[in-house]
Amino acid sequence: MKHLLLFLAIVISTTALHGQDRYDQMGITFKIPKGWGITDVQPEKNAIYFSCEKQGDNESGIISFIYLGVDADLNAFLQLCMQNAENSASMSEGKDFKWGPDTTDAIIGAYTARKVTYTVSYLGLPFSGSIIVYRGCGNMVMLNPQEADEDRKKNKRGFQQILGSIKCR
């Protein structure tokens, strides 16, 4: 019985340690929640693109990231990211793409960012997302959280953990 309890304690503690990984690149770090993983990593000179995606066949939670090791006008960067999001949606057969009415400020980890929301339909399912931009750790940063509206409740905690834990290392 002692061996069984010891084994269970080891399994539980190991699971707890591996449940939250950290992402750490280009001076920015954040928590990766259990059940989420890093995908589509595309490093380039002074830039990196990747996604943190909820794992599973029927999951829709994803945050795309772009870090650019340059300084630029934040509003111009936001406009460029908005154009790219709209073009990407149309190339992925997104329908009825609509921007929210206003750009707002948002707190992302330790940063004040600019945020604009959008809606789009993929294969008849309504999706919502946002483009969030800020300067952090010597980088221009773009975040693009997106999800199917029907998955909003189950993605909420993961989005909050990722976006709330972003900081410089």
Over residues 42-98, the pLDDT tens digits come to: 988 888 899 999 999 889 999 999 999 888 999 999 999 999 999 999 888 999 999
Q: What is the pLDDT of residue 142?
A: 95
Token couple for 149:
């509206």
- How buried is 38 (Cβ within 10 angstroms: 0-12 exposed, 13-18 middle, 19+ buried)? middle
Q: What is the pLDDT of residue 9?
A: 35
Total domain count, the chain: 1
| Residue ranges with strand state E in 33-99 | 36-44, 47-54, 62-68, 95-99
Quote the domain boundaries for residue 95.
20-168
* Contact between 76 and 68 (Cβ < 8 Å): no
Considering the domain boundaries, does residue 12 fall inside one? no
For residue range 120-143, what is the model confidence (pLDDT) as tens digits? Answer: 999 999 999 999 999 988 889 999
Q: What is the pLDDT of residue 15?
A: 34
Mean pLDDT score, 108-122:
93
* Contact between 159 and 144 (Cβ < 8 Å): no
For residue range 5-18, what is the model confidence (pLDDT) as tens digits? Answer: 333 333 333 333 34
Q: What is the pLDDT of residue 17?
A: 35
Considering the domain boundaries, does residue 155 fall inside one? yes
Considering the domain boundaries, does residue 5 fall inside one? no
Considering the domain boundaries, does residue 35 fall inside one? yes
Considering the domain boundaries, does residue 150 fall inside one? yes
Considering the domain boundaries, does residue 15 fall inside one? no
Q: What is the pLDDT of residue 168?
A: 81
Q: What is the pLDDT of residue 20?
A: 57
Q: Do strands 62-68 and 95-99 pair parallel, antiparallel, or not at all (unpaired)?
A: unpaired
| pTM given for the model | 0.84
Considering the domain boundaries, does residue 100 fall inside one? yes
Reduced to 3 states (helix: H, G, I; strand: E, B; else coil), residue 155 is helix
Domain of residue 159, CATH code: 3.40.1000.10
Considering the domain boundaries, does residue 126 fall inside one? yes
